[in-house]
Structure 1
Amino acid sequence: MATIYEVSKLAGVSLATVSRVMNNNARVSDKTKKKVLDAMQTLGYRPNAIAQSLASSRSNSIGILVSELHGPFFGQMMSGIEAALRTAGKHVIITTGHSEEDKEKDGIEFLIGRNCDAIIAHVEAVSDEYLIDINKGKVPVYLMSRHVDAIKDKCISLNDEVGGYLATKTLIDLGHRQIAYIAGPQFKADASNRLQGHKRALAEHNLSFNEDLFFIGDFKETGGMDGLRHFLDNNYQFSALVCANDEMASGAMKYAREHNIVLPEQLSIVGYDNVIFANYLYPTLTTIDNPVYEMGRMAAQLVLKQVYQQKKHDIVQVFEPTVILRDSVAHFNH
């Protein structure tokens, strides 16, 4: 197997220059870089990633911890992170936490053990105190879709309280007064914050929060189906429904059609996230835009700026949601 010494000899440059080319150092001229790369190709030389990481104290790999691998939400998140890191010559190692405290902690420890330079984590079950404590170690942990004030410089989040407010206000502005709500699991900060926004919109318009029109779902299609079934089986009266994410909204829409409820004439529905399928449901789903691809890209740029000292990135750490108005809502005719 060829060595770095043989590469330097064939290219007619120093070992330090070969090392700078391997580490993509900007101080090497294009002419010299081509000589080194040509020599590496001629000799069939492949850099040893482990040796590189020992020499530079960097592995050029970033760990990603997400709740699940399936579904459009996490797919978009991981795509945004990976695209930005790959452009910068970094690689990712991905694992899951399944929204369970032990598995989230195990996932973070696994990524630290893989010598990652940093971790980008979407975690829901571990405490703020744990995240503050883990950031005292040598591997910084950056948070997606979560805000912890003590480590706010490492957080990329969406203003979910405002998103929840906008979802409900959209229906109130259309004349709806009896609005049912299917929430996500309340131990999840985003679900809790969206519910608070819903309550603020009601209070602002002198509407009381009705426990009968409240159901806690699972952020999956089944949650939307179960929630709407619960409301209908109890003969509760409502003209509109807010679901705390698009997957539950799609489940509610499916259940409504199966029970001959005409959308949106008999029931207006609003979702949350604006995942890719929201524009392909029938009717197309009015929802709150959660720019998770852009947030993932921003988390990666935050790592590049803070860990790899790439100063060119302008960072936005708190994103503001917007309403995407489509066909699943209608004016309420009193």
Structure 2
Amino acid sequence: MGSQPDEPIIATKRQQVVTIHDVARAAGVTIGTVSKALNGQGNLREETRERIRATADRLGFRPNDLAQSLLRGRSFTVGLLTTDSYGRFSIPLMTGIEDTLSDAQILVFFCDAHDDVARERRYIDSLLAKHVDGIIVTARRTDARPAVNVGNTNIPVLYAYTQVVEPDALSILPDDAQGARLATEHLLSHGRRHIAQVSGPQYFESVQLRMEGMRHALNEHGLDLPEHRILLGPWREAWGYQAASILLDTDSQLDAIFCGSDQIARGVIDALRERGVRIPDDIAVVGFDNWGVIAQATRPALTTVDMNLHELGQYAGSRLLAMIAGKKEPGIVRLPCSLVIRDSCGVHSVRNTEETERRGENKDEE
């Protein structure tokens, strides 16, 4: 006998979606009773409610999100619109937002506009078409940006790590001035009196606020911040290196440098070390950001200001939930920063060994 032909391939019928009608039939109750049981409504006996839920689980029933949205008048979705394509600031912020919103069973749509106005408008239109319950707008800098236009939809919009000038808007920002005061007061409390600041471009609001915060802390101790100790340039490691070299050539009294970012601080430390300056014995260094991949890898490990972006995101999520519920409190809210103490300032503290390392590891992953 010859070889048998291959068995014919028979396409299997796609498994049908289990409906509320199927659950009602299997449980021996009406559709209305199933709806009440699964939505926690009605005056049903607990035994009946649990039996219906068990039947729904056994059949693999999944509620129809669209139907639920129509029933409740909400989509239980939120848009997160960002221009921070690098993710340095938006990712820790986003995880905090999602921590809060996921507890409220809300799904977050992440939209990266890449600083493209047309692309941002398309994202906004798409989010509005999906009937999101709210929108959170964030960026890679805290300076003011144009407000998001949601037309006459009345969808609440919240700004986090960015701001708008409209008086009826809510913007949530880190307190840059408070963070700078915290760093400066720490250096002063450990005997440093000749402190310079190396930071980013002056047109950044964060640079101006950190300068004001440092100056305020120095003035409270009867000290000033002379112009030759303020060096502003790009947000780059190379600028930190260049600025530190300038300071060493012009200021023999210098005993501390407060940097506007961890990247700048790393360049500063490289320049000091190459010139034979002992850190922190001769000159202490403090950064800003607590970017774990830089702060913990720098030698010595970098003392730095943490903007607590994860916590800021959690707070933003809770405020958006309040706005969705109808509570509106516009204005600018600035949340406090914290100081993470490591070796570069000369006062390493065991208080940071657990919490600091946890934050640093999370940011390394980001």
Q: TM-score scaled by structure 2?
A: 0.70
CA shift in 2, pair 1:129/1:64, >3 Å: closer
Q: TM-score scaled by structure 1?
A: 0.76
CA shift in 2, pair 1:113/1:282, >3 Å: farther
CA contact (8 A) 1:224 1:243 kept: no
Residue of structure 2 aligned with 1:43, choices 49, 59, 64: 59
CA shift in 2, pair 1:231/1:289, >3 Å: closer
Say yes or no: does 1:79 pair with 2:92.
Answer: no
- Structure-1 separation of matches of 2:284 and 2:228: 19
Deviations 1:98-134 (A, max 9, x none): 5676666665455434432112222348846625x65
Gaps of 5+ in 1: 311-316
SS of the equivalent of 1:214 reads strand
CA shift in 2, pair 1:309/1:212, >3 Å: closer
The corresponding residue for 2:227 is 210
SS of the equivalent of 2:343 reads coil
The corresponding residue for 1:314 is none
Q: What is the identity percentage for the equivalent residue pairs of Structure 1 and Structure 2?
A: 28
Gaps of 5+ in 2: 1-15, 328-332, 348-366
The corresponding residue for 1:192 is 208
Deviations 1:21-46 (A, max 9, x none): 66677988764554343333343333
The corresponding residue for 2:303 is 286
Say yes or no: does 1:327 pair with 2:343.
Answer: yes
Number of paired residues? 320
CA contact (8 A) 1:135 1:141 kept: no
Match runs of 1:139-154 below 5 Å: 139-146=155-162, 150-151=167-168, 154=170
C-alpha displacement of 1:62: 1.4
The corresponding residue for 1:268 is 284
Residue of structure 1 aligned with 2:238, choices 212, 217, 225: 225
Deviations 1:144-200 (A, max 9, x none): 235668246x33333221212222333344443443323245554434322321233
CA contact (8 A) 1:60 1:91 kept: yes
Say yes or no: does 1:303 pair with 2:316.
Answer: no
Say yes or no: does 1:170 pair with 2:186.
Answer: yes
Counterpart of 2:309 in structure 1: which amino acid?
V
SS of the equivalent of 1:47 reads coil
CA contact (8 A) 1:181 1:242 kept: yes
- Structure-2 separation of matches of 1:80 and 1:28: 38
C-alpha displacement of 1:267: 2.9
SS of the equivalent of 1:328 reads helix
The corresponding residue for 1:130 is 147
- Structure-2 separation of matches of 1:268 and 1:308: 49
The corresponding residue for 1:93 is 109
Two-structure CA RMSD over aligned residues (Å):
3.8
Deviations 1:15-70 (A, max 9, x none): 45544566677988764554343333343333333343344332211122334355
CA contact (8 A) 1:269 1:286 kept: yes
